[in-house]
Amino acid sequence: MVGKIKEKVTKSELNSMKYPLGCLILLFSISIDSARAETVFVTLEKDNALAVVDGESGQLLKTIKIGQRPRGIIMSKDNSALYVAVSDDNTIQVIDSNSYQVVGNLPSGEDPETFALDPAGQRLYVSNEDDNQVTVIDIQSQQAIKMISVGVEPEGIATSPDGKWVVSASETTNMVHWIDPKTLAIADNTLVDPRPRAAAFTDDSKQLWVSSEIAGTLSVIDVLTRKIIKKIGFQIPGVSQEKIQPVGIKIDKERRWGYVALGPSNRVAVINAKTFAVKDYLLVGQRVWNLEFSPHQKRLYTTNGVSNDISIIDLEKHKVTKSVGVGRYPWGVAVKP
Amino acid sequence: MRVTVKNSHSRIIMIAFVCFNWCVELAFAEPKTVSIAYLSQELEVPSALSNLDPVIQDGGIQGALLAIKDNNTTGQFTDQKFLLEEFRIPLRGDVDDVFRKIVAKGYRLVIANLTTENLRKLQALPKFDGILVFDAATRDDEFRNATCQPNLLHMQPSRAMRTDALAQYFVKKRWTTWLIVTGPEPADLLYAQAIRRSAKKFGIKIIEEKRWDHTYDARRTAQSDVPVFTQNTVDYDILMVADEKGMFGEYLAYRSWTPQLIAGTQGLVATSWHRTHEQWGAVQLQNRFREQAGRWMAEEDYGAWLAVRAIGESATRSQSVEFTKIKKFLLGKEFTLAGFKGKKLTFRSWNGQLRQPVLLAAARSLVAAPPLDGFLHPTNELDTLGYDQPESSCGSTENLTGVKPELRSGQANVESKQGFSLWWEKLKKKLQRAN
Q: How far apart are CA A201 and CA B291, in angstroms?
A: 35
Check residue B55 and report its DSSP letter.
P
Which among B77, B309, B382 is the nearest to A189, CB-wise?
Answer: B77
Q: Exposed, middle or buried, B47 (CB in 10 Å: 0-12/13-18/19+)?
A: exposed
Q: Give B305-344 pLDDT, tens digit per residue.
A: 999 999 999 999 999 999 999 999 999 999 999 999 988 9
The identity of residue A222, as a single letter, is D
CB count in 10 Å sphere of residue A92: 32
Supply the pLDDT for residue B281. Answer: 87
CB contact under 8 A, B338 and A171: yes
What letter represents residue B55's amino acid? V
Please give the Cα distance from A43 to A61 (Å, whole number): 14
Closest Cβ opposite residue B336 in set A129, A214, A264 = A214
Dihedral of the CA atoms B228, B232, B233, B235 (nearest 10)?
Answer: -130
User: Which residues lie closer than 8 Å to A242 by C-beta, 6 or more apart?
Assistant: B342, B343, B344, B381, B382
- pLDDT for the residue B85: 98
A152 vs chain B: nearest CA distance in angstroms? 6
Cross-chain CB nearest to B316 (options A149, A191, A193): A191
| Res. B101: pLDDT tops 90 | yes
Q: Which run of H or E residues covers position A137? A: strand A133-138
User: Sheet harboring A227-233: ordered strands across?
Assistant: A196-201, A207-212, A217-222, A227-233
Indicate the angle between helix axes B61-78 and B282-293, nearest 10 degrees: 110
B292 inside 8 A of chain A by CB: no
- Coil, helix or strand at residue A135: strand
Query: Using DSSP, how many helices (H) and how many strands (E) does chain A show?
Result: 2, 28
CB–CB contact B344 A174 (8 Å)? no
- Give the pLDDT confidence of B45-63 residue by residue, as tens digits: 877 777 788 889 899 999 9
Q: How many helices (H) and strands (E) does chain B have?
A: 15, 14
- Lowest mean per-residue pLDDT among B82-86, B297-301, B400-404: B400-404
pLDDT average per 10 residues of sequence, chain A (337 residues): 43 48 45 64 96 95 95 96 94 95 92 94 93 94 95 96 97 96 96 96 97 95 97 93 92 97 96 97 96 96 96 97 96 97
How close, in Å, is residue A182 to chain B by CA atoms? 19
Q: A191 to chain B: which residues are within 8 Å by CB?
A: 78, 316-317
CA distance B303 to B292: 17
What percent of chain B stands above pLDDT 70? 81
Residue A103 one-letter amino acid: V
Looking at CA atoms only, how far is residue B77 from chain A in angstroms?
Answer: 7
Question: Tell me: the pLDDT tens digits for B196-243?
Answer: 999 999 999 999 999 988 766 555 556 678 888 888 888 999 999 999
| Spatial CB neighbours of B32, under 8 Å, sequence gap ≥ 6 | B79, B80, B81, B321
Percent pLDDT > 90 in chain B is 68
Confirm or reject contact between B275 and chain A (CB < 8 A): no
Residues of chain B found within 8 Å of residue A153, distances taken between Cβ atoms: 281, 284
Residues A285 and A297: beta-carbon distance below 8 Å: no
Q: Which of B281, B309, B313 is opposite residue A153, by nearest beta carbon?
A: B281
* Beta strand spans in B6-127 (E): 32-41, 80-89, 109-113
Assess A76–B contact: CB distance below 8 Å, yes or no: no
* pTM of the model as a whole: 0.81
- Pairwise CB contact (< 8 Å): B343 & A242: yes
B381 contacts in A (CB within 8 Å)? 240, 242
Mutate to test the interface with B, among A172, A211, A212 (most CBs of B within 10 A): A172
A208: β partners: A201, A221
Nearest-neighbour CA in chain A from B71: distance (Å) = 8
The gap from C-alpha A136 to its chain's centroid, in whole angstroms, comes to: 16
Q: Could you tell me if B293 and B62 are in contact, meaning their C-beta atoms sit under 8 angstroms apart?
A: yes
Answer yes or no: do A173 and B342 touch at CB < 8 A.
Answer: no
